[in-house]
């Protein structure tokens, strides 16, 4: 029966597209390729500002990694002594000149710790880009499903309007032949007008859904959409949800990346407690004897006021916060996965029911009622009731299939695996 619904969906969608093209005065070749979901995702990923921002963040993190590996620059010092004084030291003729280099020496593993922080931030940026791509995929999938479902609803409304118009014409013929009362003609005309209003309403909704999808992919959508995306669940009985686990998911990987960055920050803060040395080898020219002598200086800061302990405590606090957030994320993700799995199972059951024997029976009942009404075997009320039941069953089927696919997409986003490091 799911295959029957897929056929119905395909046929009605093609009818809707043809009518929409005629209404817009646009002639397109029938062989125009479909815009598949994967195509839409690729277009959106290439044009989404969020993806561009995430890529820029990765580039920034990689540049930061290169900066972290650089050693501090030396400084050139020039000292002039014994000039602009009194007596023999007046002017600059008696000045002694010393030129030296101040070379900082990082101690305590500062450079190694700085590189570790930069590496952790680079991994976090790569993971954030993967998360953005997964979010874009979910957003486009939801919009694609909504646009496809809206297009099919429009097709169903057009089909019902066609049937209502045929019924109104048949009622007119019956009234003119004296086989029915004018009341029957009035009821048929009311049903036709309501169907026409429904066509306008569903057309606007379909156009809005298509526009939203076009806005996300970054270009107008002229190609038809792939209606097979609304296929129903396969298999038989729906079993109980499997135990939810957050292990390996993107959300937990992001929390673990934050914890790794905080760990690296703790090591960096500890390394900062070790004072650095600055050595200054140089030469001095003594003006009085015109001799040259070597000089050497060494300096080290005294940690009297800031010994780095407060920075280490702050880094440890950030690390504890990141660890707590990781544990909270694991609990939240497992709950979200569990809820999403229940939603998928419920939506699958609803899709099977809505697209199963009920739809088949409604279609057959409407077909028999139309034939019987034309042959005078059934009254108008029976026909209208059968058509209304078919419309409601069709709508319920499309809603159930769309809900099922949306629930699946959200579950896939929650369980999306984190990229393996190095790939």
Do 78 and 210 fall within a single domain? no
Is 223 part of any domain? yes
Residues 6+ apart with CB under 8 A from 322: 255, 258, 259, 261, 262
What sign for the dihedral angle of Cα 11, 17, 22, 26?
negative
Q: List, run by run, the mean pLDDT of 10-residue segments along the chain (423 residues).
A: 43 43 39 84 90 94 95 92 72 81 93 96 95 95 95 90 82 75 81 90 95 92 88 56 76 95 96 92 86 91 90 96 96 93 90 80 82 73 77 86 92 89 58
- pLDDT tens sequence across 133-145: 999 999 999 999 9
Do 348 and 391 fall within a single domain? yes
Q: What is the distance between the alpha carbons of residues 184 and 174, in angstroms, rounded to a whole number? A: 9
| pLDDT computed for residue 22 by the predictor | 39
Do 283 and 337 fall within a single domain? no
Do 315 and 332 fall within a single domain? yes
Do 98 and 221 fall within a single domain? no
| pLDDT computed for residue 310 by the predictor | 94
Is 316 part of any domain? yes
Do 175 and 202 fall within a single domain? yes
Domain extent, residue 117, equals: 2-18+31-71+109-273+309-414
| pLDDT computed for residue 230 by the predictor | 85
Contact 280, 103 (CB under 8 A): yes
Do 403 and 343 fall within a single domain? yes
Do 354 and 259 fall within a single domain? yes
- pLDDT tens sequence across 344-384: 999 988 888 877 777 788 888 888 887 887 777 777 677 77
| pLDDT computed for residue 238 by the predictor | 45
Residues 6+ apart with CB under 8 A from 74: 101, 102, 103, 104
Q: What is the distance between the alpha carbons of residues 291 and 288, in angstroms, rounded to a whole number? A: 8
Is 315 part of any domain? yes
Do 319 and 400 fall within a single domain? yes
Quick check: pTM over 0.75? yes
Do 120 and 268 fall within a single domain? yes
Is 421 part of any domain? no
Do 243 and 139 fall within a single domain? yes
The residue among 307, 331, 359 that closes a domain is 307
| pLDDT computed for residue 281 by the predictor | 92
CATH number of domain containing 249? 1.20.1600.10
């Amino acid at each position: 029966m799911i295959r029957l619904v897929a056929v119905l969906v395909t046929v009605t969608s093609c009818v809707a597209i043809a009518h929409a093209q005629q209404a817009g005065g646009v002639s397109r070749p029938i062989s125009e390729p479909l815009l598949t979901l994967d195509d839409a995702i690729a277009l959106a990923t290439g044009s989404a500002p969020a993806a561009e921002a995430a890529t820029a963040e990765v580039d920034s993190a990689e540049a930061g990694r290169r900066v972290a590996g650089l050693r501090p620059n030396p400084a050139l010092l020039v000292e002039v002594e014994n000039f602009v004084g009194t007596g023999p030291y007046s002017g600059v003729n008696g000045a002694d000149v010393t030129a030296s280099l101040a070379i900082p020496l990082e101690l305590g593993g500062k450079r190694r710790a700085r590189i570790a922080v930069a590496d952790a931030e680079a991994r976090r940026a790569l993971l954030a880009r993967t998360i953005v791509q997964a979010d874009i995929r979910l957003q486009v999938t939801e919009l694609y499903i909504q646009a496809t479902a809206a297009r099919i609803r429009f097709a169903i409304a057009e089909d019902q309007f066609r049937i209502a118009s045929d019924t109104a014409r048949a009622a007119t013929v019956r009234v003119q032949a004296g086989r029915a009362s004018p009341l029957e003609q009035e009821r048929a005309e009311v049903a036709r007008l309501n169907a026409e209003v429904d066509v306008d309403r569903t057309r606007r909704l379909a156009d809005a859904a298509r526009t939203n999808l076009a806005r996300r992919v970054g270009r107008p959508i002229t190609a038809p959409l792939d209606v097979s995306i609304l296929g129903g669940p396969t298999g038989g009985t729906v079993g109980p949800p499997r135990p939810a686990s957050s292990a390996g998911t993107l959300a937990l990987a992001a929390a673990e990346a934050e914890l790794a960055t905080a760990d690296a920050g703790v090591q960096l803060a500890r390394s900062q407690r070790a004072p650095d040395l600055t050595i200054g080898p140089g030469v001095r020219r003594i003006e009085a004897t015109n001799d040259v002598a070597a000089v050497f200086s060494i300096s080290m800061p005294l940690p009297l006021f800031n010994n780095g302990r407060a920075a280490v405590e702050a880094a440890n606090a950030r690390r504890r916060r990141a660890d707590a957030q990781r544990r909270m994320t694991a609990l939240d993700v497992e709950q979200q996965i569990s809820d999403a799995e229940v939603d998928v199972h419920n939506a699958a059951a609803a899709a099977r029911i809505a697209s199963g024997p009920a739809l088949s029976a409604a279609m057959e009942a409407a077909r028999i009622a139309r034939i019987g009404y034309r042959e005078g075997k059934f009254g108008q009320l029976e026909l209208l009731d059968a058509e209304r039941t078919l419309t409601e069953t069709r709508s319920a089927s499309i809603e159930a299939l769309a809900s099922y696919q949306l629930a699946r997409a959200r579950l896939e986003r929650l369980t999306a695996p984190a990229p393996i490091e190095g790939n």
